């Protein structure tokens, strides 16, 4: 029976077991899942913010899209994953709170999604499946035996990416 490996906020986890990587309660955050189907190595990052340049000190590289994505790919490669085989899926980026006249800077979910895709593109990777935006939080489950990513939202059917 596979066990669940929890990926917390701002964390990056890479595993080669046949377990399930899980991140719960993604609001404006983005869960990025990367999988190499040949060697069954998978990784997940729970990204909170788009850009580390506004932070005085980056102590948690998994927090920002521009640092989390390169680190996730590097950790995957250290486990033997090859970039040309990597499948990338992402979920999250909801706009959990909105009000009239809200500044575009406050649309963190959208900005996170754009930053994640930009960081992936800079590494020559593209997203093959995603569930992004809206106003509902998400939880994601990545099966390391198959690479299947399931997305669950409250009062919605399960999405398989």
Contacts of 11 (CB under 8 A, 6+ apart): 45, 46, 62
Q: How far apart are the first and last CA of the chain?
A: 23
Contacts of 35 (CB under 8 A, 6+ apart): 41, 42, 43, 86, 87, 89, 142, 144, 147
* Alpha carbon distance 134, 58 (integer Å): 29
Measured from the Cβ of residue 5, the count of other Cβ atoms closer than 10 Å reads 17
Q: Which helix (H) or strand (E) holds 45?
A: strand 41-47
Q: Which residues are catalytic?
A: 29
* Alpha carbon distance 161, 79 (integer Å): 24
Q: How many residues does the chain have?
A: 161
């Amino acid at each position: 029976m596979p066990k669940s490996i929890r990926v917390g906020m701002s964390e990056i986890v890479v595993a080669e077991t046949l377990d399930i990587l899980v991140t719960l309660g993604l609001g404006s955050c983005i869960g990025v899942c990367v999988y190499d189907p040949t060697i069954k190595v998978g990784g997940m990052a729970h990204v909170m913010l788009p850009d580390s340049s506004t932070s005085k000190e980056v102590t948690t590289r998994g927090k920002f899209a521009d640092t989390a994505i390169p680190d996730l790919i590097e950790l995957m490669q250290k486990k033997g994953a090859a970039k040309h085989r990597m499948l990338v899926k992402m979920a999250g980026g909801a706009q959990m709170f909105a009000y009239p006249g809200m500044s575009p800077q406050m649309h963190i979910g959208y900005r996170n999604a754009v930053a994640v895709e930009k960081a992936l593109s800079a590494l020559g990777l593209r997203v093959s499946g995603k569930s992004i935006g809206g106003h509902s939080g998400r939880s994601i489950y990545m099966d390391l035996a198959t690479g299947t990513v399931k997305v669950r939202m409250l009062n919605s059917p399960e999405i398989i990416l």
